[in-house]
Amino acid sequence: MVYSSLLYIYGFLPISLMLYYLTPRKWREITILLLSIAFCGMISLYFLIFISVFTIINYCCIKLIEKFRRNEKLASVPLVFGIVFDLLALFAFRTEYFTWLHRLIKAPEGFFPIGISFFVLSATGTLIDVYKKRLSCRCSLMRFSIYIMFFPKLIMGPLLRYGSFSKLLDSRKSSLSGIGVGMTVFVKGLAKKVIIADNLYMLYRSVQSSNFNEISAVTAWLGITAYIFCLYFTLSGVADMGTGIAYCFGIRLPHSFNYPLLSSRIKYFAARWQSQVVQWLRRYITKPLYNSSEKKWLWEAVFIFGWSLFGFWYTFDLNGLVFGALMGAFIITEARLREKKIMELTGIFYTFLIVILCSVFLSGSSFSYSVKYFLVMIGGNGTIADTQAFYLTKSYIVLILLAMYASTDLFRNMMTRSGKKKLKIALNIVSPMVVAVLLIICTALISYSGSSEMLLLKL
Amino acid sequence: MAKLTKLTSRITAVLTLSVIAFFFFMTVFGKKESFSIAENRKLADIPEVSLDGLYDGSDVDQLGYYVTDHFAGREEWISAKTIMQAELSEQIVNGIYIGKDRLLDAEVSLRTPASVNADIFSRYAENYDGTVYFAAIPSSSGVYGDLLQARGISRSDSQQITAFYEFLSNDIRKIDAYNILKMLNENYIYYRTDTKWTTYGAYCVYKTVIQKLGFLPTLYDKYSIQHITDDFRGNLYKKVLSAKVKPDIIDIYSYPDGAEVLSCEKTTNSGDTVESELYDLDMLDSSDMYSVFLGESAPLIKIRTSVKNDKKLLVIKDSYADCFIPFLIQHYSEIAVVSPEDMQKELSEYININDYSQTLFMFGVENLGNRSNLEKIIERN
């Protein structure tokens, strides 16, 4: 079950909100857990068993580490076991080399534990935090289960530390206006996914399915632009939907994306794109390495390594690794070269160009394919534009412009930072209507198939 | 100002939740149909909960289909989607291209290639004493694919047919329907809202086919043509429910001075024989008007005519041939029409193929990828 389906929006969501608000305040945490269990069970009973076993094993490791706290060597045994177990789970389902393991644990045909890339990192991080005694609160089984299974953050994060999540759970504030904000964010995410991402996916697919040796440079550019926007709107759309629902339950999860695509520096793009995952990698992997590297080039190598891991996390193959490494290298180059202030527009332009260049590698199915694709983009097939390119441009230009506008923070700034009082009042009056209309439009768009399950990347 | 923002949020909450609650209750308590007339298909049933189904998640998937199919106002939602989606992207909705004056299947590239099934027909020919003819008919997106430049569809059907014919054994005589139709595509040879050809399209191919089979075609001006409906909406329309494209006309060609049908016997899957007719005009009131041709589908139809030449023809076909069969009755004393799609047993259970000296295969290329259907025409050893 995905958030952008009729069954979820008009079935699971209203029922779960009703159950939550009918429960007396002190029992509401249990309701959240039960709802999350129901959500996992509705993906499939096998998934529920899988994630429960995963949670319990990790919880046992945490308890063992806590028990052996005094003796670091002894405590490292459950730590290492836990990490190996988590990584095995991650690699088993994200790579293709473990089909024997799937058979061993009797996984149904085509089983993929949705959100595994997020909950494995969550669990591993908690193990390390407990071992390093960085966790201020005690870890309870119920809280930990909610932490792993909480349905609004199951599919697309955000990736939070156990401590932060626990605090968010404690500081729950439920109010009608909170639900309003939550629904606004949810509908925003739904619109990103259904209106923009799904249609750009058609453009991407239509370029993909063309004969690779015949497409023109413009078509190739359209294809990759569609890919990067589609990726952004899919990931951030699903994340927004989750954040919105969590908000309806009074839990204020942070945003994963902060309008990264049209940033004026690569550095800003990097800081705004799925920042929790980057922070996780920094906290648990690269930071200890930074501390031991004194020379500048060593430091930079670690930086690029961290970004390579980030890219690898997306695809689990060489292409993702190249994407990350290129990204890291460009950030460093930028930091070295760019001293002077330049025009913001120039900055936006070159940042977008670099992002597109890197995402050629993220989108490709193999390294050689990506290199070839890049060559086509610079005119390798000998045609700059053909009828197909004109046709696609004509068909999709409105959508691409819409996507560009929606990926900037212009609208948000108008909403929140505008000094003009009249404009603000006007925006406040129309915004509930806009949200309701968007919800209806999105419902219509998913009405035929009932859900929009395209996720571009299986995370 | 903070108060205003709070008020706005509250209004948003009430508004969105009432929209959700409204459709929730409408869907839960609304009237449930088991068949959709507008979409001409059976709607999903509520899942029977079983442990296996819960275990692999198929029960919840089924519940999702159920909610989708029975969602309050589904037809209106789909029509609205068609209008909006066409604005957002390249006029392709639910895999259907919505052109100025016709609908086309835009997901041709997702079909299984026909050539993988060529061996079935070659094996049929091996066990058969007579002559085998094959006419693979392109779908409307093959003939009008130029409208869809960006998807490379224009070439798809012709390439598929060429590849398929190359894989067929040399004993089978192939009929190039594609080029005949392609040349005539200024005429009304394909329905605007369906993948199939019109009766006129079938006539144009008939002229070539019947010469290959060894007869002279009946001339066009000998027919009297009857428009039986101008409100036909085909299988492409059923997926988008878009009113943008005009509904189609169905024509029936009759030859008053020619041979008559003496009997038309349908064998059903239960083994009974029912008397029926070449055209079943009652079908005009059903959700599937195209079934006017040959009436409700059956695995075997035997047609006997007043032609006195003792020639017998076996036609193995899909729905494309339904409007084609009536043209043949002027030439054969007996025609057996076999539809593998509707067969539940092997071909030999219905008919002895060697009673017929000629076999004509007539399939739409879109249906040639379906191996499990086609396999029924050969003996499984």
Residue A290 lies in a domain: no
| Chosen domain end from A172, A191, A224 | A172
Residue A328 lies in a domain: no
Residue B103's beta-bridge partner residues?
A: B98
CA distance B98 to chain A (A): 13
Question: How many residues comprise chain A?
Answer: 459
Residues on chain A touching B151 (C-beta within 8 angstroms): 206, 209-210
Decide: B198 and B204 in contact? Cβ < 8 Å.
no
Beta pairing class for B92-93 and B96-98: antiparallel
Residue B95 lies in a domain: no
Chain B CA closest to residue A48:
B55
Cα separation, A117 vs A458, in Å, equals 9
Which range, of A38-47, A145-154, B106-115, B138-147, averages the lowest pLDDT? B106-115
pLDDT tops 80 at residue A420: no
Q: What separation in angstroms does the CA of A142 have from each of A32, A33, A46?
A: 10, 8, 20
* pLDDT given at position A247: 92
B203 and B332 both lie in a single domain: yes
Interface confidence (ipTM) of the complex: 0.88
A33 and A122 both lie in a single domain: yes
Closest partner residue to B19 (CB to CB) among A421, A439, A450 is: A439
* pLDDT given at position A452: 83
The three-state secondary structure class of B227 is strand
More confident residue, A291 or A123: A123
Residue A349 lies in a domain: yes
* pLDDT given at position B152: 52
Preceding peptide of A158 cis, ω within 30°: yes
B94 lies within 8 A of chain A by CB: yes
Domains in chain A, number:
2
Contact B15 A432 (CB under 8 A): yes
Q: For residue B317, give the nearest of B283, B349, B364, B255 by alpha carbon.
A: B364
* pLDDT given at position B155: 60
Chain B CA closest to residue A437:
B16
pLDDT tops 90 at residue A443: yes
Domains in chain B, number:
2
The three-state secondary structure class of A261 is coil
B143 and B229 both lie in a single domain: yes
A420 and A385 both lie in a single domain: yes
Residues on chain A touching B153 (C-beta within 8 angstroms): none
Which residues constitute the domain of residue A412?
178-265+338-446
* pLDDT given at position B149: 62
Interface with B, mutate which of A431, A447, A449, A454 (most B CBs under 10 A)? A447
Which residues constitute the domain of residue B73?
2-79
Residues on chain A touching B64 (C-beta within 8 angstroms): 1, 5-7, 450-451
A30 and A167 both lie in a single domain: yes
Cα separation, B341 vs B299, in Å, equals 7
Chain B CA closest to residue A415:
B5
Contact A450 B56 (CB under 8 A): no
Contact A47 B57 (CB under 8 A): yes
Cα separation, A364 vs A228, in Å, equals 12
Residues on chain B touching A40 (C-beta within 8 angstroms): none
Contact B14 A176 (CB under 8 A): yes
pLDDT band of A386, cuts 50, 70, 90: confident
Phi and psi, residue B173, nearest 5°: -90, 125
Cα separation, B151 vs B108, in Å, equals 9
pLDDT band of A2, cuts 50, 70, 90: confident
The three-state secondary structure class of B314 is strand
Q: Which helix (H) or strand (E) holds B338?
A: strand B334-338
Residue A307 lies in a domain: no
Closest partner residue to B152 (CB to CB) among A211, A432, A439 is: A211
B70 and B194 both lie in a single domain: no
Residue whose tokens read 């800081």: A271
Cα separation, A183 vs A278, in Å, equals 28
How do residues A389-413 score in pLDDT, each as one tens digit? 888 888 888 899 999 998 888 877 7
Which of 304-363 (B) contact A at CB < 8 A? Answer: none
Cα Dmax for chain B = 93
Q: What is the mean pLDDT of chain A?
A: 88
Radius of gyration for the alpha carbons in chain B, expressed in angstroms and rounded: 24
A57 and A29 both lie in a single domain: yes
Interface with B, mutate which of A3, A9, A10 (most B CBs under 10 A)? A10
Beta pairing class for B172-175 and B131-137: parallel
Cα separation, A235 vs B33, in Å, equals 37
* pLDDT given at position A334: 87
Residue B103 lies in a domain: no
Handedness of CA B28, B29, B31, B34 (dihedral sign): positive
Which of 122-151 (B) contact A at CB < 8 A? Answer: 149-151
Residues on chain A touching B156 (C-beta within 8 angstroms): none
Closest partner residue to B13 (CB to CB) among A45, A180, A202 is: A180
A152 and A207 both lie in a single domain: no
Cα separation, A237 vs A250, in Å, equals 20
Residue A418 lies in a domain: yes
Closest partner residue to A432 (CB to CB) among B11, B24, B51 is: B11
Cα separation, B303 vs B21, in Å, equals 57
Which of 96-125 (B) contact A at CB < 8 A? Answer: 109
A378 and A429 both lie in a single domain: yes
* pLDDT given at position B90: 73
How do residues A246-290 score in pLDDT, each as one tens digit? 999 999 999 889 888 888 888 889 889 888 999 999 999 888 888
DSSP state of B217: P
Residue A137 lies in a domain: yes
Residue B172's beta-bridge partner residues?
A: B132
Quick one: B29 exposed, middle or buried, by C-beta within 10 A (0-12, 13-18, 19+)?
exposed
pLDDT tops 90 at residue A382: no
Residues on chain B touching A47 (C-beta within 8 angstroms): 57
CB atoms near residue A6 (< 10 Å): 23
Q: For residue A312, give the nearest of A121, A449, A42 by alpha carbon.
A: A121
| Chosen domain end from A172, A202, A229 | A172
Residue A276 lies in a domain: no
Residue B317's beta-bridge partner residues?
A: B362
Residue B175 lies in a domain: yes
| Chosen domain end from A149, A172, A195 | A172
How do residues A287-305 score in pLDDT, each as one tens digit? 888 887 778 888 889 999 9
The low-confidence residues of chain B, meaning pLDDT below 50, are: none
A75 and A110 both lie in a single domain: yes
* pLDDT given at position B331: 93
Q: What separation in angstroms does the CA of A33 have from each of A4, A45, A195, A248?
A: 22, 16, 32, 15
